[in-house]
Amino acid sequence: MKKITFLLLLITLFNLACKKSSTGGVVDPAPTTPTTDLPSGAKDGVAFTNNGTSAIVTLYAPGKTSVALIGEFNDWSTSATPMKKTADGNTWWVQIDNLNPNTEYAYQFLVDGTLKVADPYAEKLLDPDNDKFISATVYPNLKAYPTGKTTGIVSVMQANQPVYTWKNNNFNRPEKNNLVIYELLVRDFTTEHTYASTLAKLDYLLGLGINAIELMPVNEFEGNLSWGYNTSFYFAPDKYYGTKTALQNFIDECHGKGIAVIMDMVLNHSFGQSPMVQLYFSNGKPTANSPWFNVDAKHPFNVGYDFNHESAATKKFSKDVIKFWMQQYKIDGFRFDLSKGFTQKSSSGDDVFRLYDAGRVAIWKEYNNYIKSIDPNNFYVILEHFAEESEEKVLADDGMMLWNNLNYNMNEATMGWLGNSNFQWGFYTNHGFAKSENLVSYGESHDEERLNLKNISYGNASGSYVIKGNLATSLKREELIAAFLFSIPGPKMIWQFGELGYDVSIDFNGRTGEKPIRWEYFTDPNRKALYDAYAKFIRLKKNNSIFNSTSATYNLANGVKYIKLVEGGNTVVVVGNFDVVSQAANVDFGAAGTWIDAMGANTNLTTNTYTATLAPGEYHIFSKTALK
């Protein structure tokens, strides 16, 4: 035992000697990042304290060796403000003091001594490449980029941001069944491409009768000229369309006019500008230790980098984004882009991708329940899903709404090619849904070729009745299909300028490139007639509950098509000839007597059957009692 004790003593003395420098001093151990719990009040991103003179800045970055905060408050020093790490190694934070609450401060995170990234939770970004193309009219007094101080996109924080004072705090959202949504891309709606210039067109939209606007993605995306699906920062409205308060004012003014605002939200994927992508990225793709992204996309329709929605970090981030826009902007709904992509089941083609996926259903039920916990008052959750019918039924039963694309069959009908012109998929019962309110049907969206472009380019003809190349006839075909679309029970959607027969190809200037803005259409008598017809169909839908009847019969397979709706003592029959030659109509109206035509002259039936020869393109909206 004495020998062992003596040996231990020698080893101890030897180790102590090894810690002496050549000059006899003691060498300090390698510096370590301090670990400490987050202070009270901290949150992801920036939390201001002490009346805005201090800020706790936080970054979730598991597994990183070091993080420093760099910015205007320390003259972009890479060593002045090291961040502390929480004991679990996941979160980095630091408090900075002596701030001016009224000053905007640009800042970034320096990760592992080499990577500079902006704050994923920032509400404003500065872009050295794209901001110079944003005019002072669009975004007044935009902070200058700190040229020469750093590189890459930088975040901006400010304690006393301009605060918007809401005027309309008691907006009642339209019932889902009565929704008429106008899908709108701010970039291509007015030449000024701003919320303010879009707001100036509100009377036009009110005249049309829509009661909801669906904004294509407006949170910060890559570049300026985009559809917005290349999203990189989720809490910042893109500056190319205007300021935060301008967007809030747009929503507020819409509410004041009875119009709901739905936001197109992209949480299937993100792009390389995203700091969340950059933090865990190698060899052209996310790394396996990314808290948020799959290394490779799980499905064939992905663009950018694929979120893993089974990850707790992704779920938390997504919920933070959802809550932020609901509370800070008072939006009325989300249209979730590529919602079918919220899956961890690998597939190489849509034949597998669309099949019932219990994991995907669980993810969407969790998000939907979270949204309802924040706002249970008729908030719209709309999915671009296009999955197996059994899966969509489960989601609909949970209160979610599903996009329903009728473009192909409706366009065949408008062009006068009848073989594939049956658009009965517009009826919710064919999906197995319990309610029509869960099916958002449309003939056009941002993603399809324009109906009237195909009418003019490929329309059928017979004798003197010619659709192809004939604008007046092509527009009347648009009117014909609209009469049927708005007569199908359930919410509807219009793509911008579809009500004027917009006929510039989706591929003009590249699929997602800028398109000509054709407000001159409104002065064209034929196009204005289509707008007026749309307005009348929308008014009929909104003012008469029979257009949401649960009692519907129809035949949409032939040249003469009809829809028959029954509610109480009233019946509505919409009948039209989609052929390019005259056709005989024989439709059981259910009762003899005088039938009122909302679009023309009344007709008197001596039997239950309506019998008439309809000219090509002719249609009627008959009812037993007058419609409002």
pLDDT score, position 6: 37
Give 308-312 contacts, CB < 8 A, sequence gap 24+: 308/344, 309/267, 309/342, 309/343, 309/344, 309/363, 310/344, 310/359, 310/363
* 458 token code pair: 């490929």
Which amino acid does the sequence have at 236? Answer: A
DSSP state of 341: G
pLDDT score, position 418: 98
Which amino acid does the sequence have at 566? Answer: V
Which residue, 260, 186, 212, is CA-closest to 538?
212
Which amino acid does the sequence have at 364? Answer: W
Which residue, 18, 100, 94, is CA-closest to 59?
94
Distinct helix (H) and strand (E) counts, the chain: 13, 31
Give 396-422 as a 3 state SS string. HHCCCEEEEECHHHHHHHHHCCCCCCC
Return the half-sphere exposure (C-beta side, CA atoms, 13 A cut-off) of residue 107: 29
Which residue, 471, 465, 467, 486, is CA-closest to 521?
471
Question: SS3 of 495, please?
Answer: strand
pLDDT score, position 36: 85
| 386 exposure class (CB count in 10 Å sphere: 0-12, 13-18, 19+) | middle
pTM for the structure as a whole: 0.93
Report how far residue 312's alpha carbon sits from residue 584's, in angstroms, rounded to the nearest whole number.
61
What values do phi and psi take at 84, rounded to 5?
-90, 155
Residue with tokens 């499905």: 299
Which residue, 464, 514, 495, is CA-closest to 617?
464
- Residue 244 near residue 122 (C-beta atoms within 8 A): no
pLDDT score, position 32: 57
- Residue 275 near residue 119 (C-beta atoms within 8 A): yes
Residue 204: count of CB within 10 angstroms of its CB: 13
Report how far residue 316's alpha carbon sits from residue 276's, in angstroms, rounded to the nearest whole number.
13
Return the half-sphere exposure (C-beta side, CA atoms, 13 A cut-off) of residue 560: 16
If the chain, 628 residues long, is cut into consecutive pieces of 10 residues, what is the mean pLDDT of each piece?
37 38 37 77 97 98 98 97 96 98 98 98 98 97 98 98 96 98 98 98 98 98 97 97 98 98 98 97 98 97 97 98 98 98 97 98 98 97 98 98 98 98 98 98 98 98 98 98 98 98 98 98 98 98 98 97 97 98 98 97 97 98 97
